[in-house]
Amino acid sequence: MTFRLTPSSPGWDTVAGSHHWLREVETYGKNAYVNGLLHLIEERHPAHVFDMGIGNGFPFASSLLEKNIRVDGCDVSDFLLEDLRKKYPSVRAFHTSYEHIGDHIGIERYDVAYCLRTSWYLPDLFSALAALRALTKPGGTMVFDTMNSASPQVAQFKKQMRWKKYRELVTNALKWVLNNVARKNYTYRTSGATPHYPVAMETVDAFLEKQNLPYQKLTFSQVSGTSHDFDPHDFRIVYLATVPETG
């Protein structure tokens, strides 16, 4: 199986970005990689999990609910959460970001807290990971994946993103000229390509070690079942970090 990185669309906190996500899940929603991630979560036999960046619940929350696992989550898109609540009313979902989720959760802690296919949209990954750890009960597991900055695929993807931003800038400039000179009424696309934040694997390793969190690393290919070997240049790295028991 091959997986092709493509430049993303407007930010998920916008209506346009939310509609884009609903289209995206139809394309790559529940594939071998997602099934592999779900297996990593399910084999820990959690009773209660937290989904950071839950969106409209597909594919992770919906699949875990089918296994009678309780799901809570948060997202910055009210549009996606509205769709989630209609489809999965048992999910307790919060319209907030990782910076403020602690204000909503209180003392609740989870067997597994995960942030999947989301971390590369977060400008401060390590603050998000600190929030994820705070949500995880002692003995529980944090599960997250990252966009690997050492990957040639990611380097090519970043070039595509720069070109997309340049084309958008030129297009908006032409629209401005036509609107002001030829009295046209073109609308500007101001959302831009969603920023992506690849991260070095060594930086994530160092963060987890500093936090005294034992962890396991897998690649996209390993989770998808297409390779048994760990390739440090794979475009996506999956982490499973255990929060130590207290005392």
- Residue 47: other Cβ atoms inside 10 A: 10
Provide the pLDDT for residue 174: 85
Distance (Å, whole) CA 23 – CA 230: 32
Q: What is the dihedral of CA 123, 224, 215, 57, to 10 degrees?
A: 50
Residuewise pLDDT in 10s, the chain (247 residues): 333 333 333 444 444 545 555 556 555 567 999 999 999 999 999 999 999 999 999 999 999 999 999 999 999 999 999 999 999 999 999 999 999 999 999 899 999 999 999 999 999 999 999 999 999 999 999 999 999 999 999 988 877 777 677 777 788 788 888 888 887 887 766 555 678 899 999 999 999 999 999 999 999 999 999 999 999 999 999 999 999 997 5
Distance (Å, whole) CA 229 – CA 116: 21
Q: Tell me which residue has tokens 């705070």.
A: 134
Q: pTM, whole model, 2 decimals? A: 0.83
Residue 89: is the preceding peptide bond cis (ω within 30°)? no
Provide the pLDDT for residue 116: 96
Task: Give how far Cα 83 sits from Cα of 52, 114, 116, Å.
Answer: 16, 20, 19
Provide the pLDDT for residue 130: 97
For residues 83 and 56, the answer to whether their CB atoms sit within 8 Å is: yes
How deeply is 18 buried, as exposed, middle or buried, from its count of CB atoms within 10 A (0-12, 13-18, 19+)? buried
Provide the pLDDT for residue 176: 85
Provide the pLDDT for residue 12: 46
List of residues 6+ apart from 246 with CB closer than 8 A: 138
The runs of H, that is alpha helices, within 4-151 are 15-28, 32-42, 60-66, 78-87, 101-105, 125-135
Distance (Å, whole) CA 217 – CA 34: 16
Q: Tell me which residue has tokens 């934040």.
A: 197
- Dihedral sign, CA of 217, 221, 225, 230? negative
Q: Report the Cα 93 to chain-centroid distance in Å.
A: 16
